[in-house]
Amino acid sequence: MADGLTGAAEQACRNSVLLITLDSCRYDTFQRATLQHLPQVGPLHKAEAPGYFTYASHAAMWVGFTPGVARSRRPWLNPKMGRVFRLGNAGFARPDSCDAFSLQGASIVEGFARQGYRTIGSGAVGWFDTDTATGRLLTHAFDRFHFSGAPWRLRQQLAWIDQELAATPSEQPCFVFLNVGETHVPYWHEGAPWPQGPSPCLPFGGDAAAGERCSRRRSRRQQRLCLEWVDAELAPLLARFSASTVLVCADHGDCWGEDGLWEHGISHWATLTVPLLLRVRGEPVGA
């Protein structure tokens, strides 16, 4: 994004922000996957999500509570030490806290808009459906928002984001949000060599009487393969924001039979342990 830019355009690039949530992606899935592009954002951190289902986690992020590493003393990794997005007086602020962005408003989206950013978002899962009241709560503050209509339409989402970025003046910074659905149940991506359904991960383990038992092995394999496919598709977008602030995380994970539990929407270490990668204004954030 920064190649060939000077002056105001280069400054806008440096101040721009890309927030990607890999919906439902488990930390151990990210560990096992063979990835080329996402790891270039920064080191992988084992973080705790602010919620155990999509709406709760994103609502928390909208007021600056991004996934954090509680035992870290590094600002931005541990939001108690300093936030990536500090929204007004939302939550405790240490006197010596170091925040990457200080914002004012009802959400970080509104906060960036108040500072002259163009705010662009695209969501894959149903909580971002702009035709629903709850979906509008998460999306109304964006200048432009696109709901894909299904969890497996990343290419459509990326094409829409490219179109919106092309329509943005080079001197205007952007806040871009992308919710990726391929890592959400049923763990399927465009062109995958397995059928979309039935999902290998269902609440309560499925209906045994109907012969629909969940599979930890299939869940692990399919989510990993989806993440590897997503990694390749995200390459151009990540390269475009290489000099900017990029935060990649999962909003929550899924249970795959641990303690007899399946899927998400339940408070459990498997749903609350997520991957986190971060770079701030082009600089990767390590431990």
Walk along the chain (287 residues) in steps of 10 and give the mean pLDDT of each run.
69 97 98 98 98 98 96 93 88 69 97 98 98 97 97 98 97 98 98 95 76 87 98 98 98 97 97 98 92
User: Whole-prediction pTM value?
Assistant: 0.95
**Confidence at residue 95, expressed as pLDDT on a 0 to 100 scale:** 58
pLDDT of amino acid 1: 46
End-to-end CA distance of the chain: 26
Judge residue 284's burial from the number of C-beta atoms within 10 Å of its C-beta, 0-12 exposed, 13-18 middle, 19 or more buried: middle
Delineate the domains of the chain, giving CATH numbers in brackets: 7-42+50-66+105-284 (3.40.720.10)
The pLDDT value recorded for residue 123 is 98
Contact 54, 277 (CB under 8 A): no
- SS3 (DSSP) at 87: strand
Burial environment of residue 185 by CB neighbours within 10 A (0 to 12, 13 to 18, 19 or more): buried
CA distances from 138 to 57, 62, 64, 189, 248 (A): 11, 8, 14, 25, 18
